[in-house]
Amino acid sequence: MTATTSLEYIGHSGLAVRHAGKLLLCDPWMSRRGTYNASWFQYPQYEGDLAALAAPDAVYISHEHPDHYDPEFIAGIDRSVPILTGRAHKKRLVSRLRRLGFQTIVELDNFEAFELAPGFTIKISTPTFHCPPHWFDSCALLELAGHKILNLNDCNLALPVADIRAEGIDVLLAQATPAIWYPLVYTTYDDERKKVLAGQRRESAISSFVSSAKAIQPRLAIPFAGPPCFFDPELAGYFFGPDSMFPTPPVAAERLAKETEIPGMILKPGDRLIIGERGAADEFRLEACTAYAGFDYERDRASYYDTHRARNEEIVRDVLAAIPPAGPGLFERFRRHFLPFLKGHPYFVEHIGIRVLFRVSGDHGGDWVVDFRREPKPELVYALDGEPCQYEFDMTSQLLDQIMRDELSWEDAFLSLRFRAHRDPDRYNQHLFTLFKMSDSRALNAIQKVETADRAHDTFVLEHAGRSYEVQRWCPHGGSDLSEADVEDGQVVCPGHHWRFSLSDGVCTNAAGRIHVRELDETGELGGSDHQKKPTPRAAGAKA
């Protein structure tokens, strides 16, 4: 391998991978106009030569979110260039690429390979290991003449970790900051409670990065994929301060160094990781970009914001002003949007099981209910009638109309942070947000098939408060390893997203879900159980 093999960080989740004379772009979000209606901007912005990136030999797009799939940049690429992505049940990304006219769209899963050149291969997988396929991110394993780089980007580690570790990963790149709207937009909480919950989200993202590194044991770990910067004055407060929910890569790298002996590296946009001969003194060499010499992600938040504020606030104003007002008939479009899901997916209706209120302000808006109860009103979607609703969403008619036109997905709108939500009781409804995320019958059917399958669960033995329990190992939400969980107040707290499962019955106390839990008697057997016990080695990571 020569020094021409390099990974250039092009900002956020973006990489320009060069080897054997070929260029592979990964998740190139390069638009200077931000995304999610100009609520998100790169932090910091790539200052390199965009023209040098415009003629790749292939492009890998991990998933449909526009901070990974940048339609503005992708539209400038020759339509003969292969576009690679994960094979997912939802085809929104693929349909958009086809609409742009790309001739070769390659969907891969289970680490199927695409070769760019001898010794230069990308293998792609869509993580669904130990959990339903409601996650549509993908990850990429790059093989560069004997070196293996795992680009985990935004993925949960719902992957066969032992198999990946056995690959001998040289470099791991993984997300170390949240990409979520909870709890920031929720009026359910006062400022103090919101601060606590945001702190949990921050900690979850940092610990997830470190946990991924511990599990995979790479020779080098690099935190990336955010955070976003917010130049809309109404959102800017989310970016600043030590309590910001969005930590920067040095914070994750510091935690990695504290808890492991795995080397870490911080990349700034334009930096290149030069990959040399295996075992050489300069095997991994950082070639720093002069544009950000001396820049510090944490220290320079305010100065970076001030430098770019005037220009980007103007962009925010222009983008928002260009969104057309909602036209007449918005309620009917809204109703037609939900009726196929209400009528065609009884499994999801049953598991959502509540009334959801949309308070839509602006032209042609109103207060509208989507009725997911087992015995709904015949209309299914109707004007608010005074009965309580368990979930509420408050948004403008412009934003809702963008969703109805499929200009934005529900998740795009939510990630814009330009809405408010409330729930009573304060309990996450997994199936409601899965419906929002997918909005696709084929994908919903696939999820239902997995969730209703009669399957045995891997388990581990957990000892807590003088008692022993056989516990399902993998969280049903995102596939996180519950053997690495803490136990608080008699509840197993998932290290991934802090779902809390009661040891008494396995029911999740803060979301809709449950896990297998059985208490063992003194002999280690399941007293009176008809459960077919599998070998369950005690997990050293389980803490009480």
> What tens digit of pLDDT does each residue of 388-403 get?
999 999 999 999 999 9
- Residue 510: pLDDT band by 50, 70, 90 thresholds? confident
Looking at per-residue confidence, does 86 or 494 come out higher? Answer: 86
Reply yes or no on whether the pLDDT at 529 is more than 80.
no
CB 271 within 8 A of CB 46: no
Looking at per-residue confidence, does 325 or 242 come out higher? Answer: 325
**Which of 153-157, 215-219, 335-339 is predicted with the least confidence, judged by mean pLDDT?**
153-157
For range 15-43, the mean pLDDT: 97
**Which of 99-103, 345-349, 371-375, 506-510 is predicted with the least confidence, judged by mean pLDDT?**
506-510
Reply yes or no on whether the pLDDT at 48 is more than 90.
yes
For range 256-280, the mean pLDDT: 95
CB 422 within 8 A of CB 181: no
CB 121 within 8 A of CB 114: yes
For range 172-176, the mean pLDDT: 96
Nearest to 479 by CA among 464, 494, 468: 494
**Which of 160-164, 215-219, 303-307, 422-426 is predicted with the least confidence, judged by mean pLDDT?**
160-164
- Residue 523: pLDDT band by 50, 70, 90 thresholds? low
Nearest to 152 by CA among 114, 209, 201: 209
Reply yes or no on whether the pLDDT at 241 is more than 80.
no
For range 314-331, the mean pLDDT: 98
What is residue 373's predicted lDDT score, i.e. its pLDDT? 96
What is residue 534's predicted lDDT score, i.e. its pLDDT? 36
Reply yes or no on whether the pLDDT at 3 is more than 70.
no
For range 510-535, the mean pLDDT: 63
> What tens digit of pLDDT does each residue of 77-133 get?
999 999 999 999 999 999 999 999 999 999 999 999 999 999 999 999 998 888 778
Return the percentage of the chain with pLDDT > 90, whole number: 81
Task: Return the SS3 of 5.
Answer: coil
Task: Return the SS3 of 435.
Answer: helix
Q: What are phi and psi of 284, to 5 degrees?
A: -120, 105
**C-alpha distance from residue 224 to each of 18, 157, 209 (Å):** 19, 15, 10
Reply yes or no on whether the pLDDT at 61 is more than 80.
yes
Best mean pLDDT range from 234-248, 403-417, 470-484: 403-417
Q: What are phi and psi of 515, to 5 degrees?
A: -130, 165
What is residue 68's predicted lDDT score, i.e. its pLDDT? 97
- Please give the structure tokens belonging to residue 116: 């760019």
**Which of 104-118, 292-306, 476-490 is predicted with the least confidence, judged by mean pLDDT?**
476-490
- Residue 530: pLDDT band by 50, 70, 90 thresholds? very low
For range 258-267, the mean pLDDT: 97
Nearest to 247 by CA among 280, 200, 215, 214: 200
> What tens digit of pLDDT does each residue of 434-468 get?
999 999 999 999 999 988 887 777 899 999 999 99
Reply yes or no on whether the pLDDT at 543 is more than 60.
no
Sign of CA dihedral 122, 162, 201, 135: positive
Bridge partners of 511, per DSSP, are 428
Reply yes or no on whether the pLDDT at 528 is more than 90.
no
For range 404-432, the mean pLDDT: 96
What is residue 527's predicted lDDT score, i.e. its pLDDT? 43
Return the percentage of the chain with pLDDT > 70, whole number: 95
What strands, in cross-sheet order, belong to the sheet with 171-175? 112-117, 120-125, 139-144, 147-153, 171-175, 220-224
State CA 533 to chain mean position distance: 34
CA pair distance 232, 235, nearest whole angstrom? 5
Report the chain's mean pLDDT, rounded to a whole number: 92
What is residue 450's predicted lDDT score, i.e. its pLDDT? 87
**Which of 30-44, 177-191, 415-429, 485-499 is predicted with the least confidence, judged by mean pLDDT?**
485-499
- Please give the structure tokens belonging to residue 228: 């976003």
Reply yes or no on whether the pLDDT at 1 is more than 70.
no
Reply yes or no on whether the pLDDT at 375 is more than 70.
yes
Nearest to 108 by CA among 127, 126, 121, 94: 126
